[in-house]
């Protein structure tokens, strides 16, 4: 069985079309089609139904997908093992935002160290713009930043961190069902803002009200915001990773709201094209286990 045919199959499902898969694989669309036809002959089944310009995976394709993914993963792991000691840096320079430094790096780096024990790690903290500039200027190797793109860098989605309303232990909201926006707006609010566009969506929750929300504290530091809530100074909309420990201990409690259900902060990894590929792949794989809600 041709590994390239399997790769084309998985890419089509991931990107949703033959054309996009061809673009990512640097192939022509007919070449990708030929690979799928060859794989279908080998498996003696149809993997996709063609629906106009779109495609839909068949039931046979759905059953084969996890095996195809496992085959590719096993191949990549074997390839990585063979080349593990080739072209790996002695020191990996990582730049990240403050939130990533506080809540992501302490969980990620020890596991990465297990996979690459001979690499030393140098960590730098800054704003998204600062980190982008450092990657461009080759001052850091990998950057963990907000959802941004740069023409000279590759930017890959790492994880999404849901934004939720959090209240302190014993807050009256915990005894109340069907909270309204008016209820929340009347409470003392601790507003944490990190400058990302997603925070504008939090502000828009209150746009329909006659009066502005009762914002008592504004801060750009999530640690300050959550500690103010724990001290019962107010309630706050916060990224879930920043309050993981406090939520587990019961000191902070999330309040479910339909208005914030799809609001999250996205963190991307930026790097120079083609550099540190094996390390980047390992980080993305670790992220699936560590930071998937």
pLDDT reading at 183 higher than 90: yes
Are residues 169 and 143 part of one domain? no
Pair (45, 98) in one structural domain? no
- In 3D space, the residue among 208, 229, 117, 99 whose CA is nearest the CA of residue 159 turns out to be 99
What pTM was estimated for this model as a whole?
0.65
Task: Give the model's pLDDT for residue 35.
Answer: 93
As a whole number, the mean pLDDT across the chain is 88
For residue 205, name the pLDDT band (cuts at 50, 70, 90).
confident
What is the pLDDT at residue 170?
Answer: 94
On whether both 211 and 274 belong to a single domain, the answer is no
Q: How many domains would you assign to the chain?
A: 3
Mean predicted confidence (pLDDT) in 232-259: 93
Same domain, residue pair 245 and 186: yes
pLDDT of residue 110: 94
CATH number of domain containing 9: 1.10.10.10
Report whether 108 contacts 280 (CB < 8 A): no
71 and 145 share one domain: no
- pLDDT band for position 79 (cuts 50, 70, 90): low
Asked whether residue 74 falls in the same domain as residue 121, the answer is no
What is the model's pLDDT at position 177? 84
Q: How confident is the model at residue 112 (pLDDT cuts 50, 70, 90)?
A: very high
pLDDT for res 5: 92
Is the alpha carbon torsion for 286, 156, 13, 11 positive or negative?
A: negative
Task: Give yes or no: residues 38 and 77 share one domain.
Answer: yes
Judge whether residue 280 has pLDDT over 80.
Answer: yes
Average pLDDT over residues 191-201: 69
Same structural domain for residues 209 and 237? yes
**Residue 99 and residue 163 in contact, taking contact as beta carbons nearer than 8 Å:** no
Same domain, 260 and 272: no
Of 290, 244, 248, 239, the closest CA to residue 110 belongs to 290
Residue 182 has a pLDDT of 93
Q: Is the pLDDT of residue 83 over 60?
A: no
Alpha-helical runs (H) found in the chain: 3-15, 18-24, 29-43, 59-82, 98-103, 105-115, 128-136, 181-186, 198-204, 222-230, 244-249, 277-290
- For residue 188, what is the domain's CATH number? 3.40.190.10
Q: What pLDDT, on the 0 to 100 scale, is given for residue 293?
A: 61
Secondary structure letter of residue 83 according to DSSP: T
Range of the domain at 198: 161-265
| pLDDT at residue 197, rounded to an integer | 54
Q: Are residues 228 and 97 in the same domain?
A: no
pLDDT digits (tens, 9 = 90+) for 12-34: 988 888 888 888 888 898 999 99
Judge contact between 30 and 20, C-beta under 8 A.
Answer: no
Give the residue from 31, 61, 82 where a domain finishes: 82
Same domain, 277 and 146: yes
Neighbour tally for 29: CB within 10 Å: 14
Domain end call among 40, 57, 82: 82
pLDDT per residue over 131-164, tens digit each? 999 998 889 999 999 888 887 888 999 999 999 9
CA distances from 73 to 34, 198, 257 (A): 23, 34, 38
What 3-state DSSP class applies to 233? Answer: coil
Last residue of a domain, one of 27, 52, 82: 82
Q: Give the C-alpha separation, 164 to 255, whole Å.
A: 7
Name the more confident of 196 and 88: 88
Residue 263: what pLDDT? 87
Residues 278 and 149 in one domain: yes
DSSP 193: -
DSSP state of 37: H
Surface-to-core class of residue 108, CB atoms within 10 Å of its CB (0-12 exposed, 13-18 middle, 19+ buried): buried
pLDDT on residue 195: 58
């Amino acid at each position: 069985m041709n590994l390239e045919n399997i790769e084309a199959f998985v890419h089509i499902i991931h990107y949703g079309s033959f054309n996009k898969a061809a673009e990512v694989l640097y192939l022509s669309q007919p070449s990708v089609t030929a690979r799928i036809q060859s794989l279908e002959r080998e498996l003696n089944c149809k993997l996709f139904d063609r629906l106009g310009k779109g495609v839909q995976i068949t039931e046979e394709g759905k059953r084969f997908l996890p095996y195809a993914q496992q085959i590719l993963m096993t191949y990549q792991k074997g390839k990585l093992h063979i080349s593990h000691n080739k072209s790996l840096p002695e020191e990996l320079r990582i730049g990240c935002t403050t939130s990533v430094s506080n809540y992501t790096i302490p969980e990620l780096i020890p596991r990465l160290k297990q996979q690459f024990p001979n690499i030393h790690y140098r960590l730098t903290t800054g704003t998204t713009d600062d980190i982008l500039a450092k990657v461009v200027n080759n001052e850091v190797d990998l950057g963990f930043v907000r959802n941004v793109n740069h023409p000279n860098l590759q930017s890959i989605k790492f994880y999404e961190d849901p934004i939720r309303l959090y209240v302190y232990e014993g807050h009256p909201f915990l005894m109340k069902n069907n909270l309204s926006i008016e209820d929340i707006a009347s409470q003392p609010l601790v507003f944490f803002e990190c400058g990302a566009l997603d925070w504008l969506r939090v502000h828009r929750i209150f746009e329909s009200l006659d009066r502005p929300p009762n914002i008592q504290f504004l801060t750009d530091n999530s640690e300050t915001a959550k500690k103010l809530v724990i001290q019962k100074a107010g309630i706050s909309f916060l990224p879930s990773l920043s309050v993981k420990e406090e939520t587990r201990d019961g000191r902070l409690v999330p309040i479910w709201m339909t208005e914030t259900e799809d609001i999250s902060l996205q963190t991307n990894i930026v790097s120079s094209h083609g550099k540190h590929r094996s390390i980047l792949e390992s980080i993305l794989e670790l992220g699936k286990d560590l930071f998937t809600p």
